[in-house]
Amino acid sequence: MTFQSPGSKLALSHKHDWLILLLLAVIDGLLNLIEPFHRYVGENMMTNLMFPFKKDTIPMWGVPIYSIFIPIFIFIAFYFARRDMYDLHHATLGLLFSSLITGVITDCIKDAVGRPRPNFFQRCFPDKIPVYDKDTGDVLCTGIKAVIKEGYKSFPSGHTSWSFAGLGFLSWYLSGKIRVFDRRGHIGKLCLVLLPLLIAALVGITRVDDYWHHWTDVFAGGIIGLTVSTICYLLLFPLPTQPHGTYSCC
């Protein structure tokens, strides 16, 4: 007779959900290998695509740290305070679903749209000597292939959508845990709940400031991430207006 902890039993009861998460991760990885659609870029279209090619203020490897690992750390802190394995499991599951579903949606749209980034000119022509097809007028890029590939993936902003997916879910979670809607008027609670959304918004702003995205890319990314995080939270938790913002059993 084998012993199973409550956490492992709970995970096994949701094994299909964890397998779907794995499948989503594989799909998202494959989407990043696909060559995006190369939208036509004529010489007269380069005016808004000649911004400096700068380094990211927030590198892509940093996104999972603040949008996934920090929220999970907060979930664990609530677990030690309340010893609610059901809450920890569902919060982690919901966060990962929110992030991976958002990632798949974002990368599908990126590959299908193929919108050039604001710094496309320097990606395409690192020597700053433009070359265009004599027949079609389309660009004939002379830069590094991988850099050019990323240059066609402006819409929507992945940094922004992932940020709002993870931090948006965290905002929902905190609003339930600290009972921000208890009608007692604690403005400090509201500020705490809005903080993750502010951080996500600031991440989006850096994408415009770095000239990696147009403002419409960031706006669309925020809508996608916030929408998915809301749906994923409400699939696993009651509205934050309910007592404690969590279920009491499995």
The catalytic residues are 159, 213
Report the alpha-carbon angle 197-75-183, nearest 5: 60
Q: How many CA atoms lie within 13 A of 217 on its CB side?
A: 31
SS3 label, residue 137: coil
CA angle 190, 178, 7 (to 5 degrees): 135
Cα 168 → chain centroid: 10
**Tokens representing 183?**
């009608």
Smallest Cα–Cα separation from 98: which of 219, 239, 233? 233
Q: Which residues of 97-135 are buried (b: 16+ CB within 10 A; e: fewer)?
A: bbbbbbbbbbbebbbebbbbbbbbbbbbbeeeeeeeeee
Cα–Cα dist 98/53, whole Å: 31
H-type helices in 32-144, by residue range? Answer: 63-64, 70-82, 85-113, 120-124
132 DSSP assignment: B
Q: Any idea how long the chain is?
A: 250
